[in-house]
Amino acid sequence: MDEGTVFTLMGSSGSGKTSLLRNVCGLDRSDSGRVYVNQKDLTEVPTNLRNIGLIFQDLALFPHMSAFDNIAFGLRSRRLDRRTIDVKVEEMARKLDIAGLLERYPSEISGGERQRVALARSLVVEPSLLLMDEPLSSLDPQLRLRVRGELKALIKQLSLTIIYVTHDLEDGLYLGDSAGYMSNGKLIEVDTAEKIYSSPRSSELALFLGYNLLEIDGRKLAVHPRDIIMSMENPVMRGTVKSFGFEGADVRIDIVLEDGQYMTALVPYGEAMEKLGYGMTLGFTIARKLDLKE
Amino acid sequence: MASYVRLMRPFLRRKWWLPFFAPTLFLSLVILLPFVLLVHSTSGSLDLESAYGSGAIGGLWQRALYNSAVQGVLSAILSAILGFPLGVFLGRYTMKNGSLIRSILILPFFLPSIVVVTAFISTFGGSSTLGGIYPSFRVFSTGLTGIVAVNTFFNAPLVAFLTSGAIERADVTLEESASTLGVRSPAMFRHIWGRNGILAALSGGLITFLYSFAGFTAPLVIGGPSNFTVEAWIYFLVKTLSNIQLGVLFSLMQSLILIVPVTIYLVIWSKERRVTTAFARPTGYRRERGIFYFVGLSYLSICFLLEITILGSLAVESLTFGRAGHISLNGYSLLFSGIITNAFGISPLLPFLNTIFYGILTSLIVTLLGALWITGKRRARIRPDTLLDSAQFIPLVIPSIVMALSISIAYGSNFPSSLTWVLIIAVQSAAAIPVVMRIISSGFASIPDSLWEAASTINGNAFFEVELPLAGSTIVTALMFGFAISVGEFTATNFLSTYTFMPISVEIYVLQSQRLLAASYALGTILLVLSVIFFYFIQRIGRSFETIR
């Protein structure tokens, strides 16, 4: 990872993302492997001396402390004088737009504000690396989008170096300068967010991204649902409509192909809905297909 | 060797084992080492086979074991039969002042055993008003019936309390979904909410068995030698007959026997399904009140009345003893007169000061040990209900009298008698471990791991700045329970204490054995009032009290 960039680590639940984060900050120990930050081996360094911040899924704000005390917690532990602490906390609070709620307790502020207090608490001690473990997962969809936008703006404004863990594809792609995909404890692919999305090379990642995995002419292919086009003239494959439904801009159609394979297609709303019916046979062509590694 | 050191380095560096150090040292020095030394020092003369022979020793042991078993089984069965319905009622229905009603009902379990025995004597004894009018009631103040009655009075509320807690925590969504599927009440009881209640009642019954099997106060005070349990015989053999070898033999065999019920108890405890509060009964959840409610309410009223009568009669008898219908403070004035000082060398205020001194130190020690132990477990990420947790139940396998005997033999000869208080506090702390540890354990369990982890990532002191403040009410509750257990602990304290180091509980026994009943009632009432005040404060410190479930 380069300094000042965000690396999003994506993967399904149980893939080992959180374990990796906990190993990086020293809360857990790995059986093998080493942790390097700025070319320094931190494997044997205790958590409290690694200078790596971690924002937890539940944010882990101390409920018995005000927002100010939460943010000042790490500074007090470093034995800074009171005046310096006040200045640093207020400066960080201003940057994160939470200066007006420093006297309030975590239970008295909104989800988005809590998010920023947690961020301030981690950032005020100037960590060399910040780890974020699905911190948006507990927010409702609307607030989540807003907080995500604010978070990205802050990250860019403060040039933070972050490893951001999520199982949410959209969060991962939106926030990451680069992204990685984990499965069964292994980092399967690492690339820019755009490349990860547009050209997955492994079947695990392709599935995670919502691609169809198809076997055509003995080749294992990943086909994005939007790259499947309904075509009754010269179709490359035929299938029966199992179900379909409106999804906003698109209509999602679940299809069982003649050879028994399952596939899903996203076609523009409009003409598609009028033509569709349960159990009807349709023909399809594929606009773009990707060969998978295996 | 080098690879071993490399392997251990991260563990040693993280110092996760440090918090375990003090509790382990305490358990080793106060319970395990003295017990091992006790057995070892007398191993040459120990003849386990003799206990099963037809000789005098065999006869005595078999009789003691029979008494312990009979008292344990009868008390457990009666406590479960009487406590379970009460627990079901309290667990299923909410009512106004429910918390207060529960507090009053569970009170006997937290009272010093000597106070409860004295209350039974004052209610049903030959010189009591009730015993005078209805002589058939006297059976409750003497012999096997009296012992079982006292044990049941003590433990039935515990069974009810555990049962109601488990039923309350039953998953409401499961019950609601079952009812939408047309499941009938008996099946609902069997599969949904009753299962936990039954397990809790079984667990309570087993605790009753353990406490009654190793019962001491009631057999000693109202049972007489024909009803002595193993525990009472150990005391009698060592203190009265100075037969230490036989005392050790009985101690060892009792501990071996107790391993079985303690293990069963631990298995049942671990089987209780835990339900998160998200699915447990929400506040204000109210069930329809039908016939069962009114039957339950009537039963609750009877239990309530019985408890008030028995405890209240102690206070009444302390004022009217020997002068029916006339109030007199003779018992109280006797306590603070010079008569007792001259007769026994017990100064009036010393037992009070001793009680407070022991209580404060015991509560501090056991709470500190508990907090360290739990912190160690959290840091080392040892999940709950592991084998390590069973260490806190060692005092159930090695009961107080055995602890007192072993510690007095292990350290007695090298210990100046002026430091007897150290031994008393050590044993009282050990006896308080099972309850206090469970309180602290539950209190800390409600603090998410992410909080202390967050503190450690920013180099803060997780224990002092995060966990301790958040577990504040738990710590206070643990301190108060530690104090209450110290005040009520009679078995080991009576074994170890001398007149100089005597607390109130032991003074009550001395007064009773000298037939100074008025003074013993007066002192019992004082201890009862102190205990109730203490219990009131325990209840006031939040709902942390529930953690003993």
Tell me: the pLDDT tens digits for A7-48? 999 998 888 999 999 889 888 887 888 999 888 898 888 888
Residues A16 and A47 in one domain: yes
- A102 and A234 share one domain: no
Domain boundary among A157, A173, A198: A198
For residue A243, the domain's CATH number is 2.40.50.140
State which of A163, A198, A233 marks the end of a domain. A198
Instruction: Judge: A62–B455 Cβ closer than 8 Å, yes or no.
Output: yes
Asked casually if ipTM beats, i.e. exceeds, 0.85, the reply is no
Q: Which domain holds residue A254?
A: 210-291
Residue B298, H or E segment: helix B291-320
Residue B385's closest CA among B438, B349, B458, B331?
Answer: B438
* Residue A49 sits at the chain B interface (C-beta within 8 Å): yes
Element (DSSP H or E) covering residue B278:
none
User: Start-end ranges of CATH 1.10.3720.10 in chain B?
Assistant: 15-45+336-549, 46-328
Q: Which of A44, A56, A121 sits opposite B13 (nearest CB)?
A: A44
At residue B384, does pLDDT exceed 80? no
- Please provide residue B288's backbone torsions phi and psi, each rounded to the nearest 5 degrees: -65, 140
Is the pLDDT score of B429 beyond 80?
Answer: yes
Residues A163 and A221 in one domain: no
Cβ atoms within 10 Å of B94's Cβ, excluding its own: 14
Query: Nearest C-alpha of chain B: how many angstroms from A74?
Result: 5
Whether residue A204 lies inside any domain: the answer is no
Question: Comparing B268 with B216, which gets the higher pLDDT?
Answer: B216
On whether both A218 and A274 belong to a single domain, the answer is: yes
- Please tell me the predicted confidence (pLDDT) of residue B387: 66
Task: Write down the mean pLDDT value for chain A.
Answer: 88
Residue to substitute from B7, B381, B458, interface A, most A β-carbons within 10 A: B458
d(CA B208, CA B72): 7
> For A223-269, how does the pLDDT look when each residue is reduced to its tens digit (9 = 90+)?
999 999 888 788 888 999 999 988 888 889 999 999 899 999 998 88
DSSP code of B274? Answer: P
Q: A150 and A21, same structural domain?
A: yes
Check whether residue A52 and residue A186 sit in a common domain.
yes
Tell whether A76 is within 8 A of chain B (Cβ): yes
pLDDT for the residue B287: 65
Residue A54 at interface with chain B, using a CB cutoff of 8 Å: yes
User: Nearest 5°: phi and psi at B217?
Assistant: -60, -55
Separation of alpha carbons A216 and A49, rounded Å: 54
B322: pLDDT strictly greater than 70 = no
Does B461 sit within 8 Å of A73, measured CB to CB? no
What is the spatial distance between Cα B60 and Cα A274, in angstroms, rounded to a whole number?
Answer: 95
Query: B512-532: per-residue pLDDT in tens?
Result: 888 888 888 899 999 888 888
Cβ atoms of B444 and B474 closer than 8 Å: yes
- Both tokens assigned to A161: 């170096």
The whole-number pLDDT of residue A6 equals: 93
Residue A192 and residue A216 in one domain: no
Are residues A54 and A137 both part of a single domain? yes
Please indicate if any CB of chain B lies within 8 Å of the CB of A176. Answer: no
Task: Among A27, A129, A131, pick the best mutation site for testing chain B contact (most B Cβ within 10 A).
Answer: A27
The answer to whether B457 contacts A63, with C-beta atoms less than 8 Å apart, is: no
> Which residue among A46, A60, A125 places its CB closest to the CB of B450?
A60
On whether both A174 and A286 belong to a single domain, the answer is no
Q: Is residue A134 part of a domain?
A: yes
Q: Give the model's confidence band at B435: pLDDT under 50 very low, under 70 low, under 90 confident, else very high.
A: confident
In chain B, the residue whose alpha carbon lies closest to the alpha carbon of A77 is B460
User: If you average pLDDT over residues B27-44, what whole number do you get?
Assistant: 84
Confidence of residue A105 (pLDDT cuts 50, 70, 90): very high
Question: Rounded to whole angstroms, how far apart are CA atoms B139 and B121?
Answer: 10
Buried-state track B107-129, b at ≥16 Cβ within 10 A, e below 16: bbbbbbbbbbbbbbbbbbbebbb
Residues A10 and A137 in one domain: yes
The highest-confidence range among A179-188, B1-10, B286-295, by mean pLDDT, is: A179-188
pLDDT score for A230: 86
B455 touches chain A (CB under 8 A): yes
Is the pLDDT reported for residue A106 higher than 60? yes
Determine the Cα–Cα distance for residues A264 and B535; give it in Å rounded to an integer. 66
CA distance A198 to B503: 80
Average pLDDT over residues B135-160: 92
Q: In this complex, do B451 and A60 lie within 8 Å of one another by their Cβ atoms?
A: yes
Predicted pLDDT at B268: 78
3-state secondary structure of A190: strand
Chain B residue nearest residue A132, CA to CA = B454
What is residue A33's three-state secondary structure? Answer: coil
Q: What is the pLDDT of residue B102?
A: 79
Q: Amino acid letter at A82?
A: R
**Residue pair B370/B478 in contact by the 8 Å Cβ criterion:** yes
Q: Is B458 on the interface with A (CB under 8 A)?
A: yes
The distance of A231 to chain B (nearest Cα, Å) reads 47
B94-100: average pLDDT: 77
What is the average pLDDT across A144-171? 88
Contact B10 A122 (CB under 8 A): no
A77 in contact with B, Cβ within 8 Å = yes
Task: Give residue B322's identity as a one-letter amino acid code.
Answer: G
Name the minimum distance, in Å, from the CA of A166 to any CA of chain B. Answer: 17
CB contact under 8 A, B10 and A73: no
Which residues does chain B have within 8 Å of residue A121's beta carbon, measured at their own beta carbons?
454, 458
Mutate to test the interface with A, among B381, B447, B451, B457 (most CBs of A within 10 A): B457
Give the minimum alpha-carbon distance from B177 to chain A in angstroms, rounded to a whole number. 27
Is the CB of residue A174 less than 8 Å away from at least one CB of chain B?
Answer: no
Asked if the C-beta of A34 comes within 8 angstroms of chain B's C-beta atoms, the answer is no
The whole-angstrom separation of Cα B173 and Cα B192 is 10
Nearest 10 degrees: Cα torsion B475, B476, B482, B488? -160
Judged by CB atoms closer than 8 Å, whether chains meet at A44 and B460 is answered as no
Kindly state whether B15 is in contact with chain A, defined as any CB-CB distance less than 8 angstroms: no
Helix (H) or strand (E) holding B321: none
Distance CA(B547)–CA(B435), nearest Å, equals 10
Residue B6 touches chain A, beta carbons under 8 Å: no
Cα–Cα distances (Å) from A85 to A125, A129, B256, B530, in that order, read 10, 21, 60, 48
Chain B partners within 8 Å of A18 (Cβ): none
Q: Is A60 an interface residue toward B (CB < 8 Å)?
A: yes
Is the Cβ of B3 closer than 8 Å to some Cβ of chain A? no
N-terminal to C-terminal alpha carbon distance within chain A: 27
- How far B170 CA sits from the closest chain A CA (Å)? 26
Q: Do A46 and B13 touch (CB under 8 A)?
A: yes
Residues of B in contact with A57 (CB under 8 A): 450
A-to-B residue pairs, Cβ atoms closer than 8 angstroms: 65
**First-to-last C-alpha distance (Å) of chain B:** 46
Q: Do residues A30 and A63 both lie within one domain?
A: yes
Q: What is the pLDDT of residues B42-95, one digit of tens each?
A: 776 666 666 666 677 778 888 999 999 999 999 999 999 999 999 999 888 887
| Angle CA B203–B309–B486, to nearest 5 | 55
DSSP letter (8 states) at residue B18: H
Examine residue A205 and state whether it is found in any structural domain, yes or no. no
B461/A contact by beta carbon, under 8 A: yes
Eight-state DSSP code of residue B499: S
With respect to CATH, is domain B15-45+336-549 assigned 3.60.15.10? Answer: no
- Residue B467: the pLDDT is 87
B106, B163 Cβ separation under 8 angstroms: no
Give the best-scoring range by mean pLDDT among A142-146, B57-61, B295-299, B383-387: B295-299
Partner-chain contact A122 B459, CB within 8 Å? no
More confident residue, B356 or B100: B356
B457 CB within 8 Å of a chain A CB: yes
Average the pLDDT over B153-165 and give the result. 90
Q: What percent of chain A has pLDDT over 90?
A: 36
Token pair of B536 as six digits: 């009131």
User: CB of A30 within 8 Å of any CB in chain B?
Assistant: no
For the domain with range B46-328, which CATH number is right: 3.30.450.20, 3.20.20.140, 3.90.1280.10, 1.10.3720.10?
1.10.3720.10
What's the total number of domains in chain A? 2
Q: Are residues A273 and A247 in the same domain?
A: yes
Q: Which of A149, A170, A198 is the last residue of a domain?
A: A198
Query: What is the rounded CA–CA span in Å between residue B508 and residue B143?
Result: 20
- When CB atoms are compared, the residue of B9, B13, B450 closest to A58 is B450
| Percent of chain B with pLDDT strictly greater than 70 | 87
